[in-house]
């Protein structure tokens, strides 16, 4: 699809009831796309119909597992773009239940692509991958040529799913772009626990007035993407002809230590507390150390750059959850 | 296991009714190991009880699918070494039936490792991987630091299986060595078709007195391992303390063009014919071009080097199949 306007376009969003998927869906609705959300609502993946509250009437929601090819195929039949965000994100859980992760992150992805292969058309596909495919950075910041040596089962399966997408581009002719996301945060992120990112658990804690924990000594660095910026990258990836066949990091030139991030969160919250504690053993075994992305390829190919600093994004995120709690109270 | 003697050792060979697995099993029996062969005998994998003819009484054969954890677990319970050779090898079929390949090469491998994780012991595991994980060589010869960019679904899944093994070593403490095999040939290889290697199909043709086909212009190069040399590498990988945690190529310093190989085969056969034809489309899409391994790491770590030249191995292979045909006639 080479037209940056989405008006009237038939678009499928897998994982569209999830955190980033629902944000993308909301933006597509604003742009008057005809959106089909495909989401299995399996408990592991934390999608929720609440995430599309207010736009339900403007989208089609199909509660379908990607592995169910018979039900999936007709949903894809006339799609021009497939934003493929379905998946399971927990690194720790992937080590405890690797066969579940295999089903949700490899089998489901391959089944989706097989359903696409059976179509007469070749929709553009944008796949949401993750920095986790790199494993422990050998160089810093990490660009797309960095070796892929995942340190957990989740990373192994996300990498396999990337490679499926690359094959279906090269062998079967699908226009495909792969985005490797870093820690993404914002409204509707999971804050009940650290399943999506530790920052979600931190935000949940400060909202409840609880102390949160930094694992390690707090010097480890990470980069962050506000969800609206991630959404902009997905839209650009689907519409930039030069994105076809590319793997592109998202990231930020600014990276912060966990301790600096914690202080930014307390400042945004105007209060709160945290403490340092040693890494839990099961988490330490799969930790990747410092990470920050070199996203210059995305800048060059998509014209993308992050526009929300943590000073802007963190208060917005907290405000969203406060407002939501107030409405529900 | 740090003792090079296998006498009395409890060893499991997965895929032990297959081509390389049965050769390894025969050698282990010679060395008086207590061998359990685990093989699902699924039609795609071309294992056969005929491959262990003559040694049936010296081994335990369990017709068990690796995905069947309940039946698998007791077979592994007292193993000191697991030679893990189960898998599906066809590159072309993996593109036509990718979900089958997922089951046989990823799901089965992860299930095996999960069964191992549930043990009280930590057997040494040697995993049979493939040069296919590299994809199209960017440099030549290919050493283990070469990027892994598989060009077909089979390569994606073999790479995922490698990465599982690496994780179960690093996170769960299994002594693991991964061997990346190149084209392996010899007695009991599959010669009905090119499912294992094109050389198998060529050998089948010359034995039947048929012309065989070289795809492409015949200048493409490959390296080859005679099955006895591959077996020696597996044994060394299980017993060399320095092999733990390593990924090691097998290969040969000599690499030959397909045309030169064809001429060697005709010389070994004392007759025959071949012709050149363009690559079939589905095969061309996943062809990797020239390949030869740098196996200096295996030489250094295992003290391994190939001892059978093509001039020695090809006649032996042909003689084996002729003798077998004579016995059965």
B258-310 residue pLDDT tens: 999 999 999 999 999 999 999 888 888 888 999 999 999 999 999 999 999 99
Tell me what the mean pLDDT of segment A232-261 comes to. Answer: 97
**Burial (CB count <10 Å: 0-12, 13-18, 19+), residue B115:** buried
Residue of A nearest to B114 (CA): A98
Across the interface, whether the CB atoms of A153 and B170 are under 8 A apart is answered no
Whole-number pLDDT of residue B150: 96
Tell me what the mean pLDDT of segment B239-267 comes to. Answer: 97
pLDDT band at residue B64, thresholds of 50, 70 and 90?
very high
Chain pair A-B, CB pairs under 8 angstroms = 75
Length of chain A: 329
Whole-number pLDDT of residue B181: 98
Q: Give yes or no for residue B2 having a pLDDT over 60.
A: no
User: Rounded to an integer, what distance in angstroms lies between the CA atom of residue B149 and that of residue A240?
Assistant: 24
Whole-number pLDDT of residue B285: 82
User: Rounded to an integer, what distance in angstroms lies between the CA atom of residue A193 and that of residue A205?
Assistant: 9
Tell me what the mean pLDDT of segment A46-71 comes to. Answer: 95
Tell me what the mean pLDDT of segment A89-95 comes to. Answer: 86
For chain B, give the percent of residues with pLDDT over 70.
99
Across the interface, whether the CB atoms of B98 and A107 are under 8 A apart is answered no
Of B221, B218, B216, B220, give the one whose Cα is nearest residue B278.
B216
Across the interface, whether the CB atoms of B156 and A170 are under 8 A apart is answered no
User: Rounded to an integer, what distance in angstroms lies between the CA atom of residue A48 and that of residue B281?
Assistant: 44
Of B202, B217, B194, give the one whose Cα is nearest residue B277.
B217
User: Rounded to an integer, what distance in angstroms lies between the CA atom of residue A14 and that of residue A128?
Assistant: 10
Q: Residue B149, Cβ neighbours under 10 Å: how many?
A: 18
Query: Quick one: tokens of B282?
Result: 């589905």
How close, in Å, is residue A326 to chain B by CA atoms? 44
Whole-number pLDDT of residue A3: 55
User: Residue A100, Cα to own-chain centre: how many angstroms?
Assistant: 19
What three-state secondary structure class fits B123? coil
| Averaged confidence pLDDT in chain B | 95
Tell me what the mean pLDDT of segment A232-243 comes to. Answer: 97
Residues of chain B found within 8 Å of residue A163, distances taken between Cβ atoms: 149-150, 156, 159
Map tokens 């699908």 to a residue: A174
Of A253, A126, A130, A243, give the one whose Cα is nearest residue A181.
A130
Asked whether the beta carbons of B195 and B184 are under 8 A apart, the reply is no
Ranking A85-89, B123-127, B178-182, B271-275 by mean pLDDT, the lowest is A85-89
DSSP state of B201: H
Residues forming beta bridges with residue B274, ordered by sequence position: B212
A310 interfaces chain B, CB cutoff of 8 Å = no
User: Rounded to an integer, what distance in angstroms lies between the CA atom of residue A246 and that of residue A177?
Assistant: 5
Q: Give yes or no for residue B93 having a pLDDT over 90.
A: no
How close, in Å, is residue A12 to chain B by CA atoms? 23
Residues of chain A found within 8 Å of residue B285, distances taken between Cβ atoms: 170-171
Asked whether the beta carbons of A258 and A216 are under 8 A apart, the reply is yes
**Residues with Cβ < 8 Å from B66, sequence gap 6 or more?**
B14, B38, B40, B72, B86, B108, B109, B111, B112, B115
A98 interfaces chain B, CB cutoff of 8 Å = yes
Cα–Cα distances (Å) from B173 to A62, A128, B170, in that order, read 43, 32, 6
Which among A148, A153, A164 has CB closest to B148? Answer: A148
Of A103, A101, A18, give the one whose Cα is nearest residue A61.
A18
Q: Is CATH 3.40.50.720 what the domain over B10-186+225-254+293-308 is classified as, yes or no?
A: yes
Residues of chain A found within 8 Å of residue B287, distances taken between Cβ atoms: none
Mapping DSSP onto H, E and C, the string for A67-81 reads CCHHHHHHHHCCCCE
Residue of B nearest to A114 (CA): B98
Interior angle at CA A42, CA A40 and CA A45, nearest 5:
100
Q: Give yes or no for a cis peptide into B155 (omega within 30° of 0).
A: no
pLDDT band at residue B4, thresholds of 50, 70 and 90?
low
Across the interface, whether the CB atoms of A167 and B156 are under 8 A apart is answered yes
Tell me what the mean pLDDT of segment B234-253 comes to. Answer: 97
User: Rounded to an integer, what distance in angstroms lies between the CA atom of residue B46 and that of residue B19?
Assistant: 8
pLDDT band at residue A4, thresholds of 50, 70 and 90?
low
Which among A99, A160, A167 has CB closest to B152? Answer: A167
Which among A98, A106, A159 has CB closest to B114? Answer: A98
User: Residue B35, Cα to own-chain centre: how many angstroms?
Assistant: 18
Ranking A20-24, A158-162, B40-44, B230-234 by mean pLDDT, the lowest is B40-44
Of A287, A265, A258, give the one whose Cα is nearest residue A204.
A265
pLDDT band at residue B45, thresholds of 50, 70 and 90?
confident
Which among A99, A114, A156 has CB closest to B160? Answer: A156
User: Rounded to an integer, what distance in angstroms lies between the CA atom of residue B52 and that of residue B58?
Assistant: 10
User: Rounded to an integer, what distance in angstroms lies between the CA atom of residue B266 and that of residue B237?
Assistant: 34
Q: What is the pLDDT of residues B130-186, one digit of tens each?
A: 999 999 999 999 999 999 999 999 999 999 999 999 999 999 999 999 999 999 999
Residues of chain A found within 8 Å of residue B67, distances taken between Cβ atoms: none
Residue of A nearest to B108 (CA): A99
Whole-number pLDDT of residue A280: 87
Query: Quick one: tokens of B300?
Result: 């250094």
Q: Give yes or no for residue A2 having a pLDDT over 60.
A: no
Whole-number pLDDT of residue A88: 87
Which among B166, B171, B285 has CB closest to A171? Answer: B285
Residue of B nearest to A102 (CA): B107
Q: Choose between B5 and A35: higher pLDDT.
A: A35
Ranking A43-47, B233-237, B324-328 by mean pLDDT, the lowest is A43-47
Q: What are phi and psi of B252, to 5 degrees?
A: -150, 140
How close, in Å, is residue B96 to chain A by CA atoms? 10
Residues of chain A found within 8 Å of residue B153, distances taken between Cβ atoms: 110, 164, 167
How close, in Å, is residue B164 to chain A by CA atoms? 7
Q: Which A positions 153-172 lie with beta carbon below 8 A of chain B?
A: 153, 156-157, 159-160, 163-164, 166-167, 170-171
Q: What is the pLDDT of residues A103-132, one digit of tens each?
A: 999 999 999 999 999 999 999 999 999 999
Q: Tell which of B132, B143, B156 to mutate to test the A interface (max A CBs under 10 Å).
A: B156
A91 interfaces chain B, CB cutoff of 8 Å = no
Superfamily of chain region A10-185+225-253+293-308 = NAD(P)-binding Rossmann-like Domain (3.40.50.720)
Q: Tell which of A135, A146, A153 to mutate to test the B interface (max B CBs under 10 Å).
A: A153
Cα–Cα distances (Å) from B294 to B149, B182, B221, B303, in that order, read 17, 11, 14, 14
Whole-number pLDDT of residue B3: 54
Of A226, A227, A193, A225, give the one whose Cα is nearest residue A212.
A193
What three-state secondary structure class fits B288? coil
Q: Tell which of A171, A247, A279 to mutate to test the B interface (max B CBs under 10 Å).
A: A171
Across the interface, whether the CB atoms of A285 and B164 are under 8 A apart is answered no
Which among B160, B167, B170 has CB closest to A160? Answer: B160
Asked whether the beta carbons of A131 and A248 are under 8 A apart, the reply is no
Ranking A114-123, B66-75, B246-255, B280-289 by mean pLDDT, the lowest is B280-289
Whole-number pLDDT of residue B196: 80
Asked whether the beta carbons of A227 and A187 are under 8 A apart, the reply is yes
């Amino acid at each position: 699809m080479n037209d940056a306007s989405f008006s009237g376009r038939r678009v499928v969003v897998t994982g569209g009831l999830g955190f980033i998927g629902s944000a993308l869906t909301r933006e597509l609705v604003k742009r008057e796309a005809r959106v089909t959300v495909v989401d299995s609502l399996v408990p592991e993946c934390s999608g929720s119909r609440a995430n599309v509250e207010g736009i339900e009437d403007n989208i089609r929601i199909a509660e379908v597992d990607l592995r169910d090819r018979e039900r999936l195929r007709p949903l894809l039949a006339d799609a021009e773009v497939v934003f493929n965000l379905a998946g399971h994100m927990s690194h720790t859980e992937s080590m405890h239940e690797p066969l579940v992760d295999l089903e949700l992150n490899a089998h489901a992805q391959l089944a989706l692509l097989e359903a696409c292969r059976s179509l007469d058309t070749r929709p553009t596909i944008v796949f949401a991958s993750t920095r986790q495919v790199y494993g422990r950075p050998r160089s810093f910041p990490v660009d797309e040529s960095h070796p892929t040596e995942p340190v957990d089962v989740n990373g192994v399966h996300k990498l396999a799913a990337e490679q499926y997408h690359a094959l279906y581009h090269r062998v079967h002719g699908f226009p495909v772009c792969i985005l490797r996301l870093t820690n993404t945060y914002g409204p509707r992120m999971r804050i009940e626990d650290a399943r999506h990112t530790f920052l979600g658990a931190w935000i949940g804690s400060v909202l409840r007035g609880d102390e949160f924990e930094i694992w390690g000594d707090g010097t480890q660095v990470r980069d962050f993407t506000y969800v609206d910026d991630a959404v902009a990258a997905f839209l650009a990836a689907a519409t930039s002809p030069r994105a076809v066949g590319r793997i592109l990091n998202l990231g930020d030139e600014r990276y912060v230590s966990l301790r600096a991030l914690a202080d930014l969160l307390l400042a945004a919250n105007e209060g709160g507390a945290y403490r340092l504690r040693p890494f839990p053993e099961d988490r330490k075994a799969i930790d990747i150390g410092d990470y920050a992305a070199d996203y210059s390829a995305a800048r060059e190919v998509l014209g993308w750059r992050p526009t929300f600093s943590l000073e802007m994004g963190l208060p917005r995120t907290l405000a969203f959850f406060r407002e939501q709690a107030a409405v529900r109270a």
